[in-house]
Amino acid sequence: SCPTEEEARDSEDDWKPDKSNEELKERDSKLQPRKQKARRSGKNGVFAFSCKVCGALHGSEVEFVKHKIHADRERSYLCDVCCKMFLTSKQLQIHMRTHTNEKPYHCGECGKGFTTKGPLTIHMRVHTGETPYHCPDCGWSFKRKTNLDDHVRVHSGQKPFLCGICGKTCARKTYLTVHMRTHNGERPYKCTLCDKAFTQSHCLKTHMKSHLVAETAT
């Protein structure tokens, strides 16, 4: 299945850590002295590069890149269910909710639960009607930035999603997903009254009307 927005931002390197998650957490508490040492070792006291993982400061890009590779490899947290890897224990904790189905953030209006606060904030716009993302060309507004990005391509004509089989391009990823069904034969929308199935939901709705007409005629 597709990763969530939170997981898409996480590191997914191919190697495995040589330390357990508990050992890695113990190392976290020992990073501060190294951070202070780094502050005193930069050229002319200027540090242009800061490690987001441990906070270490570096005066040159070469030193920073070397440190980042080491930090990423040494301090990754491994999910023992699916083997995904994360840079911090907090990221791993959030990820584990996809396996435990834990949803600590709940909508006060309808009770729907979410694994993190971000999706709840977006969901609340369903109830408030808030649409903070506005199209600069036509003025349409959207609840999500991703929806605005998709819409803007209508004006620009940009079609970045390419079918690897026939070369057709699509403006939205959802359009490409629907198109791929013409190649793989997938028909997820099934009629409950007969054995027909369709690639798109609106096709099923149109088909269901034929059953309604037939039922009315009898």
Sorted by where each begins, the domain ranges of the chain are 5-99, 161-217
For 53-76, write each residue's pLDDT tens digit.
666 776 777 787 777 766 666 557
Which of helix, strand or coil describes residue 114? strand
| Secondary-structure class of domain 161-217 per CATH | alpha beta
Q: Which amino acid is at 84?
A: K
Structure confidence at residue 201 (pLDDT): 92
- Structure-derived torsion over alpha carbons of residues 122, 127, 129, 135, reported in degrees to the nearest 10: 20
Helix H or strand E encompassing 169? strand 169-170
Structure confidence at residue 7 (pLDDT): 42
Per-residue pLDDT band at 10 (split at 50, 70, 90): very low
CA distance 176 to 196: 23
CA distance 147 to 128: 18
Q: How many CB atoms within 10 Å of residue 38?
A: 20
For 86-141, write each residue's pLDDT tens digit.
888 899 999 999 999 999 999 999 999 999 999 999 999 999 999 999 999 999 99
Structure confidence at residue 214 (pLDDT): 77
